[in-house]
Amino acid sequence: MKVPIGITTLHLSQKSALLLLLAVGLLGFGGYDYVQQSQAVDNAVAVQATITDARVDRMEGGRGIDYEPEIRYTYQYQGETYTSEQVFPSTGVRTYSDRSRAESVVESYEPGATTRAYVSPADPNDAFLVRERTPWPLRAIAIGGFLSVIGVLAGLGAKSPGQQELRPASEVQPAPRETWVDSHGETVHRLSKQGLGVCFVGFWLSLVALVFGLLNTTGGFGGPPQEIQAELLGPVGLSMLAGFSFWVGMVLSLCLYGVWSFTEYRQLRQRLSASKPPSPFRHPSRLVTILGTGDGDLSEYGQRVRLTGWVLLIAAGMTATLAYLLYTAS
C-alpha cells in the first residue's frame, strides 16, 4: 500500500497499515476523551448530592483483578432529580489494581451523607464527583503517538533492508583494534545466556513463592480481601525482593547479550561489499523494517541486526516497566 504524504510516500505493509490504524484509533479516542473531560471540568456547575451507595467492586478480567470505586448518588438540577454512578469526568471506567487505592476513593462517601457533585449544563445526566481529569486520555495519546512513529518509520524504510549477502571471512582483513568483548566473545555470550536462564527460572520461582506466601498470610482462597502488611524478611517480603533481583538480573543479562550481539553485527558488517548500506542502528526507519521482517527473508547480516535490535528493545522495555512499578509504589 502506498500513501503519499507531502513530498514523500509511505510504503506500508499489511502489518504497518494495521499498526497505523490502531495508532489513529488511540489518538482519536484519547484526544476526544481529553477534550470531553476538559470541557466537563471547566464548565461544570456544583450541586448538592446525596450518597445512596458506596462500595468497591471487584472485577476479574484477562489481565488480572481490578477494583472499581462504585458510588451511587442522587442530585437535583433545575428542578429535576437525577441519579448517577460516575465518579470522574471520563467516558471510561477508572479502575485500580490496588484495592486500597480504590477504597481511599470510596471512604470519603458514606451512604446517606451529602456531598458536592458537578453537573454539565449541556448534559445534566452526566454528573461526577471528583473534579479532575483522569490519566487515561494522555496515556492513550502517548501510546498512539509511539505506534504511529513506528508505523511511519516502517513505511519510510527501505523495501528490503537486511538482505545483503556477506563476503567470505577470508577476504576481509581483521580490524586493527579489538575490544575486550571481541577477544572474550565466547565467554560473554555464554555468561549472558546462562545468567538470563538462571534469572528467568528464579523470577518465576519467586512468583510461586510469593503466591504461597500470600495464601498463608490471608488464610487461603475464598476469604474476603484483606490488606496485607508484609515484612521485608518475611515470606512475602523475601519473595518480592528475590523477584526484583531476578528481574534486574534478566535486564543485565540481556544488556550483556546485546553488547556481544552488537559486536558480532560489527564484525559481519565488515564482510559487506564496498558499497555498504546505511547502518540500521543510525537509521531508525531501516531498523524498524528489519525488526518486522521474518528470519527467512533476511540474510545472516539482517538476522543479526534483527536479534540485536529486539534484545535491546526488550531490555529497555523491562527497564521502563521496573521504573514504572517503582514509581507507582512510591
Identify the pLDDT of residue 147: 86
Position 202 scores a pLDDT of 95
C-alpha cell at 78: 433545575
Residue 101's alpha-carbon distances to 66, 232, 237, 321, in angstroms, are 11, 22, 20, 20
> How far apart are the C-alpha atoms of 22 and 285, rounded to whole Å?
19
Residues ≥6 apart with Cβ < 8 Å to 118:
40, 41, 44, 45, 46, 47, 89, 127, 128, 129, 131
Q: Are 110 and 54 in contact (CB under 8 A)?
A: yes
Contact 68, 93 (CB under 8 A): yes
pLDDT tens digits, 208-265: 998 887 777 655 544 544 444 556 667 778 888 999 999 999 999 999 999 999 999 9
* 51/74 Cα distance (integer angstroms): 7
pLDDT at 221: 47
Low-confidence ranges of the chain (pLDDT < 50): 221-222, 224-228
Q: Around 42, how many Cα atoms within 13 Å sit in the side-chain half-sphere?
A: 6
**DSSP per-residue string spanning 248-297:** HHHHHHHHHHHHHHHHHHHHHHTTS-SSPPPPTTT-HHHHHHHHTS-GGG
Q: How far apart are CA 89 and CA 220, in angstroms?
A: 38
Q: What is the pLDDT of residue 302?
A: 92
